[in-house]
Amino acid sequence: MPNATGGKAPTLHDVTRWRAGVTGRMQDIPASTQSDQALYSKELGRAIDDVIDPSRSDAGHDGTWSYLTLMLFPDLVVKRWGPSADGKLSVDRWIGAQLGRDRNYLKLSWRNWDILGEVMDEADPPLGEDEFLSLLERTALARNPRIIRVAAKEVIRLDAEHGMGRSFFARELLKRVTFQTGPLVLDLLENNELAALVSEQAKATIAAFTKPRRSMLS
């Protein structure tokens, strides 16, 4: 990695292995439809985690992801984020935002897998960018991967008959869970206690959405 983070610098052998390992896993995965793209992003994050296994210090540097995007895996990124109609590439997807929310594609793919891991395999169709944004936009909760994983399981279990999209449900669920951080220190809860709390908030979210509305007309 190109940052002085205190670890051992990768050798040419390391970089060659990363390139071969990640591209080898991704070569037969399509990215044409929206569902394909969600699966592609998931498998790309898994491959980066398994093959490269970025250190926390390296992963925290924007330069790490710019290097991987532009030097090692441009073919993998362009498959998902190719040129727009005017022939230009998306700067924030390829390099990342210097201010505000970072949208570097490799970084987000890895981060999603790093936080959720095999929970993502339970989703059919795969979780998409809107769901991830809803799950991870609240900084107070995103720092606790346990909460996000439990919430993601509730999102995945959401029955379509309730009439809510998964991203909307995720956003409303995380609002309710965030409200619980006032009276409770969620980090101190055991796994079963945390799962019960999030499940209760999921039921409340569904109930609030499906509650019959009183007619304004007589």
32-89: pLDDT as tens digits: 999 999 999 999 999 999 999 999 899 988 889 999 999 999 999 999 999 999 999 9
| 11-20 tens-digit pLDDT | 999 999 999 9
- The reported pLDDT for the residue numbered 117 is 95
Please report where in the chains the tokens 């205190």 appear, as a residue.
6
pLDDT band at 4 (very low <50, low <70, confident <90, very high): low
Q: Does residue 31 have a pLDDT over 90? A: yes
Please report where in the chains the tokens 């969620």 appear, as a residue.
186
- Per-residue pLDDT averaged across 105-118, rounded? 96
- The reported pLDDT for the residue numbered 181 is 83
Domain residue spans in the chain? Answer: 1-116, 127-211
Peptide bond preceding 183: is omega within 30 degrees of 0, i.e. cis? Answer: no
- Per-residue pLDDT averaged across 6-32, rounded? 93
Q: Does residue 175 have a pLDDT over 80? A: yes
148 exposed, middle or buried (CB, 10 Å; 0-12, 13-18, 19+)? buried
From the list 86, 83, 127, the residue with the least C-alpha distance to 94 is: 83
Entry field: residues in the chain: 218
Q: Does residue 5 have a pLDDT over 70? A: no
- The reported pLDDT for the residue numbered 98 is 60
Q: Check the CA dihedral 24-47-167-137 and report its sign.
A: negative
Please report where in the chains the tokens 């790309």 appear, as a residue.
44
**Amino acid at position 119, single letter:** V
- The reported pLDDT for the residue numbered 162 is 78
From the list 96, 129, 134, 132, the residue with the least C-alpha distance to 115 is: 132
| 187-215 tens-digit pLDDT | 889 999 999 999 999 999 999 987 665 65
Q: Considering the chain, what percentage of its residues have pLDDT values greater than 90?
A: 68
DSSP 189: S
Distances (CA, A) of 101 to 8, 10, 97, 121: 29, 28, 7, 26
Distance, in Å, from the CA atom of 42 to the CA atom of 5, rounded to the nearest integer, reads: 27
- In contact, 115 and 83? CB cutoff 8 Å: no
- The reported pLDDT for the residue numbered 99 is 58
- The reported pLDDT for the residue numbered 215 is 55
